[in-house]
């Protein structure tokens, strides 16, 4: 775990570092440049003075003076003027330097006694004139002195062990052509300059410490104000973390902290609005899911009833096919009997009563078959009605599914907006990012489930249309069977009547037998047709039964999904209740 360092401490340390750095940088620069600044300032003043003194010297005559001219009137005047100027200005030394052809420097004026020297330089006394010659090899011939003979004004501060601290100013003397013919040199005590250096350094140190102290105090005050505002932000962020969005932060400032507070309040209001919208929409989604669950359960119940009805129809159709096969067999027997009657009138006479009995029995069976077909037709009407109801229910499911898709799309958009706002909030919005992601996943699941429902409903509608078409065809064929059976019943009535007439009237037996043969062929053909139709009806009923079982299973899945959607919406609504938001 990283060591915690408060922002206040960091601000104080940073401010102290900056103040110390700037103070040291500025103080160091001033201290390092102070000698140069002081020397240039003092030297500049004395340069002007030496320039004024140089105007009293006749440069043409001075250019021609030699080391042996120390007793001349011109030398005496120059020496007197320089002595007066030295006394007036309080200088330690004021003298003229020249350089001979051999490169040696020699002093002409400004000596107070035989023991006086130039800046402590090594001296060579001319035996003839008594002029002082400064050896070129002397260690006291400085760079500043050499540069002055190149025509440049020079200053230097020396700390010599023999003569102490001296400040020297070198003013080059030039003839009318601009050539340097000598140097007017002034030496004054350097002690005041060194003392001023010490005083300035002390003052710089004191000012630096004062600036450092003031900077630290200002940084402490500034950091305290900053930390106070940040603590206020921290308090409100913790309230948002706990789900309380009812309070706004109050910071009356016109700087970045004030803008941050305004942005924080806008974020708080936006989150409150989003949570309120999610709560409202999740409540509506909960109601829709509950309604969908109720409708799905109703559809499932209706589908189960339809399955049972179709199962009964299939069973009846199968039984009808078996009965028609039985009738077909009987008709074959009847055909054999008719053939025997036709071939043998005697057999017809003997078996007339038997034939009459069989005809009556066939009539009864045809009536039963007719009644069974009517019941089957009524069952098909019931099935058609239930299938129509199923089609209506499927359309209602499709409408509800469309509503669910719209809700899922809106929920997904709301979740996406919430995720964007949460990402803008940074660390404070991470918790809400998770909630928005979960809402988004639920919306995507709702969209996928609604797509599956739509596919299932489309399959149901297709199956329903197929069942309706098949039912209508079967009903038409049953109506044809009814007509055929009615015709057959009439034929049986004619047969019975003929049989009754054949007993007393054997002479008409052949004619009646001939008619019976014709009628028999028609009956056999119709019965075979009815049998084939009945078998097709039975197969179609079996297919309808399987389709209704699939529909029943799918409606059960829809009901289960509706319950799951209801639970999810209820859970989403419960999560939004954890937030306290401003009332609109």
Single residue among 156, 186, 215 that ends a domain in this structure: 215
H or E element that contains 462: helix 430-502
How many other CB atoms are found less than 10 A from the CB of residue 493?
Answer: 13
199 touches 222 (CB < 8 A): no
Residues 275 and 150 in one domain: no
Residue with tokens 């062990």: 161
CA–CA gap between residue 194 and residue 523 (Å, rounded)? 150
Residue 285 has, within 13 A of its CA and on its CB side, a CA count of 30
Angle subtended at Cα 520 by Cα 517 and Cα 525, rounded to the nearest 5 degrees: 135
At 184, give phi and psi (nearest 5°). -85, 120
pLDDT at 172: 93
329 found inside a domain: yes
**In a domain? residue 133:** yes
pLDDT score recorded for residue 39 = 73
Two tokens at 458? Answer: 């489309």
Does residue 258 lie in a domain region?
no
- For residues 283 and 201, state if they share a domain: no
**pLDDT given for residue 134 in this prediction:** 44
**Structural domain contains residue 251:** no
Judge if 271 and 208 occupy the same domain.
no
**The pLDDT value given to residue 112:** 46
Same domain, 270 and 157: no
Say yes or no: 210 and 274 in one domain. no
In a domain, residue 431? The reply is: yes
120 lies in the same domain as 196: yes
| Cα–Cα distance for residue pair 521/334, rounded to 1 Å | 11
**pLDDT value of residue 130:** 36
* Together in a domain, 81 and 174: yes
CA distance 224 to 7: 10
Q: Could you tell me if residue 581 is inside a domain?
A: no
Domain count, the chain: 2
How is residue 150 written in tokens? 């190149």
Domain interval for residue 109: 7-215
Within-domain flag for 225? no
Q: What is the DSSP letter of 167?
A: E
Q: How far apart, in Å, are the Cα atoms of 94 and each of 148, 498, 518?
A: 15, 180, 172
Residues 165 and 289 in one domain: no
* DSSP run (H or E) holding 234: helix 191-241
Q: Categorise residue 151: left if φ over 0, alpha if ψ from -120 to 50, beta otherwise.
A: left
DSSP string, 254-270: SSHHHHHHHHHHHHHHH
Residue 48: half-sphere exposure toward Cβ, Cα within 13 Å: 5
- 162 and 287 housed in the same domain: no
Helix/strand/coil for 480: helix
Residue 202 CB coordination number (10 Å):
10
Same domain, 439 and 569: yes
Measured distance CA(401)–CA(396) in Å, rounded: 8
Both tokens of residue 61?
Answer: 């005559």
Cα–Cα dist 375/530, whole Å: 16
Q: Distance (Å, rounded) from C-alpha 58 to C-alpha 549? A: 138
In a structure prediction context, what are the per-residue pLDDT tens digits for the chain, which is 584 residues long? 456 566 667 667 777 777 777 777 877 777 677 667 777 777 788 888 888 888 888 888 888 777 677 778 888 888 888 888 888 888 888 888 887 767 677 776 654 443 343 433 333 333 233 344 443 333 367 788 888 888 889 888 877 776 678 888 999 998 888 888 889 998 888 788 778 778 877 888 888 788 878 877 887 787 777 777 777 777 777 777 777 767 777 776 676 667 777 777 787 778 777 877 777 777 777 777 777 777 777 776 776 776 777 777 767 767 776 776 777 777 677 767 766 766 665 666 666 667 767 777 777 777 777 777 778 777 777 877 877 887 788 778 878 878 887 887 888 787 788 778 777 777 776 776 777 777 778 878 877 887 888 788 788 878 777 877 877 777 777 778 778 777 877 777 777 777 676 666 655 666 666 676 677 677 777 777 877 777 777 777 777 767 777 777 777 777 777 778 767 777 776 766 666 666 65
Instruction: Look at residue 243 and tell me if it is in a domain.
Output: no
Q: The domain that contains 167 carries what CATH number?
A: 3.30.450.20
| Residue 174 structure tokens | 């030039």
Residue among 471, 303, 318, 478 nearest 383 (CA): 471
CATH of the domain at 517: 1.10.287
């Amino acid at each position: 775990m990283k060591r915690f360092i408060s922002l206040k401490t960091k601000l104080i340390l940073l401010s102290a570092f900056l103040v110390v750095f700037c103070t040291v940088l500025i103080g160091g620069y001033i201290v390092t440049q102070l000698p140069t600044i002081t020397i240039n300032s003092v030297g500049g003043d004395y340069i002007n003075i030496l320039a004024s003194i140089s105007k009293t010297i006749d440069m043409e005559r001075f250019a021609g003076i030699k080391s042996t001219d120390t007793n001349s009137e011109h030398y005496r005047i120059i020496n007197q003027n320089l002595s007066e100027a030295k006394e007036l200005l309080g200088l330690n030394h004021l003298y003229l330097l020249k350089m001979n052809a051999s490169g040696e420097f020699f002093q002409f004026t400004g000596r107070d006694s035989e023991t006086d020297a130039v800046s402590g330089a090594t001296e060579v006394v001319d035996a003839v004139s008594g002029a002082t010659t400064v050896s070129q090899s002397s260690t006291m011939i400085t760079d500043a002195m050499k540069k002055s003979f190149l025509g440049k004004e020079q200053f230097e501060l020396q700390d010599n062990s023999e003569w102490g601290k001296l400040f020297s100013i070198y003013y080059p003397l030039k003839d009318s052509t601009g050539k340097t013919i000598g140097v007017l040199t002034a030496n004054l005590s350097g002690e005041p300059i060194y003392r001023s250096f010490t005083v300035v350094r002390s003052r710089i140190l004191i000012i630096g410490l004062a600036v450092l102290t003031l900077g630290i105090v200002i940084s402490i005050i500034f950091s305290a104000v900053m930390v106070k505002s940040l603590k206020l932000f921290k308090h409100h962020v913790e309230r948002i973390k706990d789900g309380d969005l009812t309070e706004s932060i109050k910071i009356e400032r016109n700087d970045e902290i004030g803008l941050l507070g305004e942005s924080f309040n806008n974020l708080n209001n936006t989150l409150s609005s989003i949570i309120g919208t999610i709560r409202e929409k999740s409540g509506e989604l909960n109601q829709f899911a509950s309604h969908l669950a109720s409708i799905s359960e109703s559809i499932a119940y209706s589908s189960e009833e339809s399955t049972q009805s179709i199962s009964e129809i299939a069973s009846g159709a199968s039984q009808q096919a078996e009965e028609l096969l039985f009738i077909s067999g009987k008709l074959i027997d009847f055909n054999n009997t008719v053939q025997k009657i036709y071939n043998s009138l005697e057999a017809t006479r003997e078996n007339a009563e038997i034939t009459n009995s069989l005809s009556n029995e066939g009539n009864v069976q045809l009536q039963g078959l007719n009644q069974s077909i009517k019941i089957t037709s009524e069952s098909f009407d019931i099935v058609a009605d239930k299938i129509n109801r199923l089609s209506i229910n499927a359309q209602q499911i499709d409408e509800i599914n469309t509503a669910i898709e719209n809700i899922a799309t809106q929920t997904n958009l709301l979740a996406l907006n919430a995720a964007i706002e949460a990402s803008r909030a940074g660390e404070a919005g991470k918790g809400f990012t998770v909630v928005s992601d979960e809402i988004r996943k639920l919306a995507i699941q709702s969209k996928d489930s609604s797509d599956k429902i739509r596919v299932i409903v489309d399959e149901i509608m297709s199956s329903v249309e197929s069942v309706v078409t098949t039912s209508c065809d079967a009903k038409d064929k049953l109506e044809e069977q009814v007509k055929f059976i009615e015709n057959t019943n009439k034929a049986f009535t004619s047969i019975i009547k003929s049989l009754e007439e054949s007993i007393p009237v054997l002479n008409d037996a052949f004619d009646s037998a001939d008619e019976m043969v014709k009628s028999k062929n028609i009956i056999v053909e119709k019965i075979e047709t009815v049998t084939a139709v009945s078998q097709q009806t039975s197969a179609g009923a079996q297919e309808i039964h399987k389709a209704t079982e699939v529909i029943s299973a799918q409606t059960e899945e829809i009901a289960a999904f509706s319950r799951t959607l209801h639970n999810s919406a209820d859970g989403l609504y419960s999560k939004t209740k954890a937030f306290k938001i401003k009332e609109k």
